[in-house]
């Protein structure tokens, strides 16, 4: 009696005072300890009972095995009891055998359970069901179904637990046919009114996406318990019907009035999207109100919700406040960091787990490897790989897949292939990871070869396979060779109707230069999702059609398609390339409204947009703390400083980046060398170029070489620039020769300019800039006949010079000006303002530099031509159209003229306003008669 009411101390006192104890007394005391969770005490009492020679029966053995199963750390004791059972011939007791089956299933010893089951001389329905439950709990649902079919063949009847288990397995296997077969058996056996069976049916239909059928079963139930309501809420949640989940919860509160942690946990899982986050926060408040804040499973669900919705601060706060944490808690926090691109924080979680000696699972390593799936964290990824080997997870399929993915994304394709080949088994995800790695590194031949080998091995492809192999076709030469045959193959197989495959086809055709086909596929998509729109936006941006991309973004908004983090990142990138500050600000506002502003790529895209729109202060405001910056953030900062003329700050940032342990990459050095080039930091730039490979292992590419030629050329070291080109580690291209030719124009080197122009025209005969630059070299040297010869050659080859234009954007209106333009409605006021400015700066000491007037005319005409330059007209219009004291922003499509640069300096001093001029290469901040470029650009 005492033990049944939980008064175990009193029960033990009575037991100890008994003068005569029989077998039943000992059995009751042992079972009392087990019932109260005193598993070690029950074991010691059993040993005492055995030592006193008390006859042991099946009842006490079954109780003891229940204790070992529940404790989760008494596997050795259970194995010893099995030996005792065999030695004493107790296996013939069906209850003992069933308890042993339950014990082995609970510890995941499924081979031992299988062997025991076959050896049992007698089995009842409980034995069969315990055997099934062990496999079900360990995820081996196919075995559960096999055992169920065997039961039917042998004529073994099923009980409610049998049906519950096999119904759950049908749902887990997504086998609707089997589910309906089991339903027929349930009805035939008369268990359709059983609450547990009905609950399982609700869950099963929910997992099949058959919400109507789940509702029907639920509505037909005469009796419902808490599990019934939870199952129905879960069915709605599984099918992303959040409002219906909460409506069902509201009915549950009225009709059932009993809510548990599972109810709230299920509702939290339904709220793990940004649009439903408000519901999740409400449930979090209810959790606190009901005093369930210490429930670890419920807290883990909240952690996952905050992590999935990019609310890392709230996830961190919740995690820190949890009194008890299990591995799921740590893994959830880590997964949240990974999804937000916060790799350093994710790896810090792994470090904390290791330092504190916590148990680590394969899930932990899979997340840690995902955090290292960036070249910046390759070294850390290799360390995690070693740790996975040490902990014995290197042969785990999930960890193996994560390793293949990590090495592929870090550009180490040979290592990815090596991991792939040494894996004990490969599944579809493994093949997709390998093909994706080849695609990521533009190894088209290898990607297609792996795809063919995969088919030869009998591994069926899925849509992800198709996306990965299409991603390998990124250059025009791949279109006919691989891209179009793959497209035809997908039509035959039927994958061309898949939304994600269509999006990949849009991207592939765009990358291969066929935007017409991209548009054709896009127009035929009936129900366009955000992914489809994103693909088309990226396709237009890839071809330089930024305005078209922005129009698509507007259409996407009008179509009421939900923006995601990728839509916003792509849109912000387009706004950055167009220097469209207003649109960029609107997109940032939208990101904040939708809750994506803290996402890694959105935040960095926003910073990049402000940097390219001239708002360096906004870049600095958004910048994470140095120890929290990713390499992408550092690169954006260095690039912004370089673009805005803060060359020393660019160098300081590079050294600060190194100090905080972030490794520079290809992009870092392009920005750094560009800063040195435009800042006249020749020796520093050459030193950085030398250290790039020797210290940091970054191989020199054409972009770095262009910077060095530009660096030497601008400083007048033309002979060194020519010698560098002769010894370059990569073949020179048109950018190299264009940089050298531009330097020859600055320094008036006619002979070398002619040589550079010849090479430039050989590499790109239709390049108008080659003719224009060479013409400028001739004009600067006063060789007007040569200028005329160049122009005749351009005309005979039908090559037209790209016209210079400048523009000013005021709110949504863009005003564009060409040289000597008179088409603007305010043209008269503009030219009046030009005349006014001319008079004012002449009085201030301005002397025109007529070498920038590239026509053979007298000095007066040359000066007149200079005052017709587009950037001066844009300046005049900007001054008459904007408030006094405000910052004026002007854009030009070609490099700013040297004399216009001088004019802007004088004007900024006279009118006491900041003028920001952006040309294709950089920003010029004019303030108080000075420019941020230091007159060196």
Centroid of chain to Cα 473: 22
The pLDDT of residue 403 is above 60: yes
pLDDT of 798 reads 67
703 vs 546 pLDDT, higher one: 703
Using the structure block, give the residue that is written with the tokens 């000696």. Answer: 357
Hey, which of 305-314, 386-395, 681-690 has the most confident mean pLDDT? 681-690
Specify burial of residue 187 (Cβ count, 10 A radius: 0-12, 13-18, 19+).
exposed
Which residues face 917 on adjacent strands?
A: 890, 924
Is there a contact between 770 and 757 (Cβ–Cβ < 8 Å)? Answer: yes
CA distance 394 to 387: 9
The span from the CA of 646 to the CA of 763, in Å, is 34
The rounded distance, in Å, linking the Cα atoms of 154 and 454 is 41
Q: Write out pLDDT tens, residues 832-854.
A: 999 999 999 999 999 988 766 55
Lookup: tokens for 411: 């550009």
Compute the CA torsion angle 88, 89, 91, 94 (nearest 10 deg). Answer: -110
Q: Apex CA 599: angle with CA 595 and CA 604, to 5°?
A: 120
Task: Answer left, alpha or beta for residue 777, where phi above 0 means left and psi between -120 and 50 means alpha.
Answer: alpha
Rounded distance between C-alpha atoms, residue 508 and residue 473, angstroms? 6
Q: Are 644 and 579 in contact (CB under 8 A)?
A: no
Q: Which of 212, 162, 214 is nearest to 189 (CA)?
A: 162
Mean pLDDT of 107-132: 81
Which long-range contacts does 484-487 make (Cβ < 8 Å, 24+ apart)?
Answer: 486/448
Q: What is the pLDDT of residue 722?
A: 93
Query: Which pair of tokens denotes residue 418?
Result: 């090596």
Q: Which residues pair with 704 in a beta bridge?
A: none
Measured between alpha carbons, how far is 283 from 271 in angstroms, rounded to an integer? 9
Rg (C-alpha) for the chain, rounded Å, is: 37
User: Given the structure tokens 């007149």, which residue do they identify?
Assistant: 864
Beta bridge partners of 671: none
Average pLDDT of every residue of the chain: 85
Residue 500, exposed/middle/buried by CB under 10 A (0-12, 13-18, 19+)?
middle
Q: Closest Cα partner for 877 from 819, 928, 821, 834?
A: 834
Range picked from 26-40, 279-293, 772-786 for highest mean pLDDT:
279-293
pLDDT in tens, 428-461: 999 999 999 999 888 888 998 999 999 888 888 8
Q: Answer whether 890's CB lies under 8 Å from 914's CB.
A: no
Compute the distance between CA of residue 403 and CA of residue 393 in angstroms, rounded to an integer.
Answer: 11
Model confidence pLDDT, tens digit, residues 494-543: 887 888 888 889 988 888 888 889 999 998 888 888 888 988 888 888 88
> For residues 792 and 467, which has the higher predicted lDDT (pLDDT)?
467
- Alpha helices in 595-681, H assignment, sequence order: 600-612, 616-622, 631-643, 647-659, 666-678
CB atoms within 10 A of CB 52: 9
Ramachandran region, residue 221 (left: φ > 0; alpha: ψ -120 to 50; beta: rest): beta
**Contact between 264 and 298 (Cβ < 8 Å):** yes
d(CA 102, CA 65): 8
Beta bridge partners of 915: 888, 926
Average pLDDT over every residue of 678-697: 92
Residues 298, 304, 306, 310, Cα dihedral to 10°: 180
Window from 330-339, 425-434, 736-745, 765-774 with minimum mean pLDDT: 765-774
The two structure tokens encoding residue 922:
């950089």
Task: Report yes or no: 65 and 103 within 8 Å, Cβ to Cβ.
Answer: yes
Q: Angle at CA 677, nearest 5°, toward 675 and 682?
A: 115
- The string of pLDDT tens digits covering residues 883-937 is 988 999 999 988 888 889 999 999 999 999 999 999 887 889 999 999 988 887 6
Question: Helix/strand/coil (H, E, C) string of 367-384?
Answer: HHHHHCCCHHHHHHHHHH
Would you say 917 and 926 are in contact if contact means Cβ atoms under 8 Å apart?
A: yes
How far apart (Å, rounded) are the C-alpha atoms in residues 591 and 603?
9
Per-residue model confidence (pLDDT) at position 1:
57
pLDDT of residue 435: 94
Q: Which of 417, 419, 427, 438 is nearest to 461 (CA)?
A: 427
Res. 104 pLDDT band, cuts 50 70 90: confident
Contacting residues for 665 by C-beta, under 8 A, at least 6 apart: 375, 376, 631, 635, 698
Whole-number percent of the chain with pLDDT over 70: 90
Backbone angles phi, psi at 813, to 5 degrees: -100, 130
- What's the pLDDT at 60? 73
* Residue 198 CB neighbours (<10 A): 27
- Residue with the larger pLDDT of the pair 49 and 302: 302
Edge-to-edge, what's the strand order for the sheet holding 915-918? 813-818, 805-810, 888-892, 915-918, 923-927, 930-931
334-346 average pLDDT score: 86
pLDDT band for position 476 (cuts 50, 70, 90): confident
d(CA 650, CA 674): 10
Length of the chain, please? Answer: 937
Whether the Cβ atoms of residue 81 and residue 101 lie closer than 8 Å to each other: no
CA separation for the pair 809, 55 (Å, rounded): 97
pLDDT at 767 (0 to 100):
67
User: What are 543-573's pLDDT values in tens digits?
Assistant: 878 888 888 888 888 888 888 888 889 889 9
Please give the pLDDT value at position 279: 86
Average pLDDT, integer, range 700-721: 93
Distances (CA, A) of 9 to 18, 26, 31, 660: 14, 15, 14, 60
Round to whole Å and give the CA distance between 767 and 758. Answer: 12
Confidence bin at 30 (pLDDT 50/70/90):
confident
Give me 810's structure tokens.
């005021």
Could you tell me the pLDDT band of residue 58, with boundaries at 50, 70 and 90?
low
Residue at token pair 């190299």: 736
Residue pLDDT, tens place only, 127-175? 888 888 888 887 788 888 898 898 888 888 898 989 999 999 888 888 8
What does the pLDDT read at residue 859?
59
How far apart are the C-alpha atoms of 25 and 28, rounded to whole Å? Answer: 5
Q: How far apart are CA 866 and CA 440, in angstroms?
A: 49
Q: Report the candidate in 527, 551, 531 with the shortest Cα–Cα distance to residue 541.
A: 551
Give the pLDDT mean for 808-834. Answer: 90
Question: Residues with Cβ < 8 Å from 894, sequence gap 6 or more?
Answer: 802, 804, 919, 920
Give the per-residue pLDDT at 543.
Answer: 80
Quote the tokens at residue 936. Answer: 């060196």
What's the rounded Cα separation, in Å, for the pair 507 and 513? Answer: 10
Q: What integer pLDDT is reported at residue 241 of this predicted model?
A: 87
Q: What's the 3-state SS for 506-547?
A: HHHHHHCCCHHHHHHHHHHCCCCCHHHHHHHHHHHHHCCCHH
SS3 of residue 495 by DSSP: helix
d(CA 466, CA 495): 8
Ramachandran angles phi, psi of 809, nearest 5°: -110, 120
CB 568 within 8 A of CB 543: no
Contacts with 471 (C-beta within 8 Å, 6 or more apart), sequence order: 436, 439, 440, 447, 504, 507, 508
pLDDT above 90 for 760: no
Task: Give the H/E segment covering residue 915.
Answer: strand 915-918
pLDDT band at residue 856, thresholds of 50, 70 and 90? Answer: very low
Predicted pLDDT of residue 272: 81
130 vs 777, higher pLDDT:
130
Least confident of 99-108, 236-245, 369-378, 825-834: 99-108
Confidence of residue 75 (pLDDT cuts 50, 70, 90): low
- In contact, 850 and 859? CB cutoff 8 Å: yes
Cβ(338)–Cβ(600) under 8 Å?
no
């Amino acid at each position: 009696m005492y033990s049944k009411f939980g008064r175990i101390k009193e029960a033990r006192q009575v037991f100890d005072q008994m003068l005569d104890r029989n077998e039943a007394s000992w059995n009751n005391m042992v079972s009392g300890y087990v019932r109260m969770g005193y598993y070690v005490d029950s074991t010691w009492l059993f040993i005492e009972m055995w030592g006193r020679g008390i006859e042991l029966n099946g009842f006490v053995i079954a109780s003891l095995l229940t204790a070992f199963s529940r404790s989760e750390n008494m596997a050795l004791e259970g194995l010893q009891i099995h030996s005792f059972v065999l030695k004493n011939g107790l296996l013939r007791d069906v209850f003992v055998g069933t308890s042993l089956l339950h014990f082995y299933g609970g510890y995941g010893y499924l081979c031992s359970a299988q062997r025991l089951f076959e050896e049992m001389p007698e089995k009842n329905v409980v034995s069969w069901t315990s055997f099934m439950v062990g496999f079900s709990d360990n995820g081996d649902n196919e075995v559960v179904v096999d055992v169920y079919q065997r039961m039917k063949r042998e004529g073994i009847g099923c009980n409610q637990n049998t049906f519950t288990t096999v119904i759950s397995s049908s749902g887990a296997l997504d086998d609707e046919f089997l589910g309906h077969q089991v339903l027929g058996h349930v009805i035939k056996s008369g268990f359709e009114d059983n609450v547990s069976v009905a609950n399982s049916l609700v869950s099963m239909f929910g997992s099949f996406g058959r919400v109507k059928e789940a509702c029907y079963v639920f509505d037909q139930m005469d009796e419902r318990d808490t599990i019934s309501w939870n199952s129905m809420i879960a069915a709605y949640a599984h099918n992303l019907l959040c409002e219906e989940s909460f409506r069902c919860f509201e009915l549950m509160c009225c009709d059932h009035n009993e809510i548990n942690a599972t109810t709230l946990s299920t509702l939290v899982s339904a709220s793990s999207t940004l649009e439903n986050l408000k519901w999740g926060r409400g449930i979090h408040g209810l959790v606190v109100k009901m005093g369930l804040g210490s429930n670890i499973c419920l807290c883990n669900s909240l952690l996952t919700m905050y992590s999935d919705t990019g609310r890392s601060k709230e996830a961190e706060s919740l995690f820190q406040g949890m009194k008890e944490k299990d591995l799921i808690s740590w893994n959830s926090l880590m997964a949240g960091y990974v999804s937000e691109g916060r790799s350093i924080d994710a790896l810090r979680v792994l470090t904390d787990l290791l330092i504190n000696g916590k148990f680590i699972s394969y899930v932990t390593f899979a997340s840690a490897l995902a955090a290292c799936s960036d070249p910046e964290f390759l070294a850390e990824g290799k360390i995690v790989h070693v740790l996975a080997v040490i902990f014995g997870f290197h042969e785990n399929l999930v960890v193996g897949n994560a390793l293949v993915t990590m090495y592929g994304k870090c550009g180490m394709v040979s290592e990815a292939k090596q991991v792939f080949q040494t894996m004990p088994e490969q599944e579809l995800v493994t093949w997709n990871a390998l093909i994706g790695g080849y695609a990521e590194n533009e190894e088209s031949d290898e990607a297609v070869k792996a795809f063919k080998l995969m088919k030869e091995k009998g591994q069926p492809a899925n849509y992800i396979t198709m996306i990965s192999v299409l991603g390998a076709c990124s250059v025009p030469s791949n279109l006919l060779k691989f891209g179009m045959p793959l497209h035809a193959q997908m039509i035959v197989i039927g994958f061309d109707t898949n939304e994600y495959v269509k999006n990949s086809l849009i991207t592939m055709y765009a990358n291969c230069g066929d935007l017409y086909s991209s548009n054709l596929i896009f127009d035929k998509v009936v129900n366009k999702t955000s992914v489809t729109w994103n693909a088309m936006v990226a396709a237009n941006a890839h071809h330089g059609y930024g305005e078209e991309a922005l129009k698509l973004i507007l259409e996407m908004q009008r179509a009421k398609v939900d923006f995601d983090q990728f839509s916003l990142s792509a849109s912000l990138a387009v706004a950055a390339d167009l220097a469209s500050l207003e649109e960029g600000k609107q997109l940032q506002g939208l990101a904040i409204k939708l809750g994506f502003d803290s996402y890694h790529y959105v935040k960095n895209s926003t910073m990049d947009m402000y940097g390219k729109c001239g708002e360096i202060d906004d870049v600095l405001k958004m910048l994470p703390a140095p120890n929290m910056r990713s390499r992408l953030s550092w690169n954006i900062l260095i690039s912004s400083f370089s673009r805005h003329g803060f060359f020393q700050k660019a160098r300081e940032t590079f050294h600060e980046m190194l100090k905080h342990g972030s490794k520079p990459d290809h992009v870092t050095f392009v920005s750094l060398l560009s800063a040195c080039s435009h800042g006249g930091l020749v020796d520093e730039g050459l030193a950085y170029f030398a250290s790039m490979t020797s210290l940091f292992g970054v191989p020199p590419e054409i972009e770095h070489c262009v910077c060095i030629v530009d660096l030497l050329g601008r400083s007048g070291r033309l002979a060194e620039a020519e010698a560098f080109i002769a010894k370059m580690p990569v073949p020179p291209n048109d950018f190299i020769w264009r940089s050298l030719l531009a330097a020859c124009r600055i320094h008036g080197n006619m002979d070398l300019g002619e040589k550079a122009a010849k090479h430039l025209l050989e590499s790109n005969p239709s390049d108008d800039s080659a003719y224009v630059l060479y013409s400028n070299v001739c004009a600067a040297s006063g060789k007007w006949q040569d200028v005329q010869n160049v122009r005749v050659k351009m005309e005979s080859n039908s090559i037209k010079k790209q016209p210079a234009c400048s523009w000013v954007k005021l709110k949504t209106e863009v005003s564009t000006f060409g040289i000597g333009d008179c088409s603007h409605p305010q043209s008269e006021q503009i030219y009046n303002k030009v005349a006014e400015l001319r008079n004012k700066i002449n009085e201030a000491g301005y002397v025109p530099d007529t070498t920038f007037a590239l026509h053979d005319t007298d000095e007066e005409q040359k000066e007149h031509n200079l005052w017709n330059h587009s950037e001066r007209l844009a300046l005049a219009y900007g001054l008459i159209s904007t408030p006094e004291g405000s910052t004026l922003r002007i854009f030009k499509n070609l490099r700013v003229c040297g004399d216009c640069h001088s004019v802007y300096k004088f004007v900024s001093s006279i009118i006491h306003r900041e003028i920001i001029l952006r040309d294709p290469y950089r920003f010029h901040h004019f303030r108080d008669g000075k420019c941020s470029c230091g007159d060196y650009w």
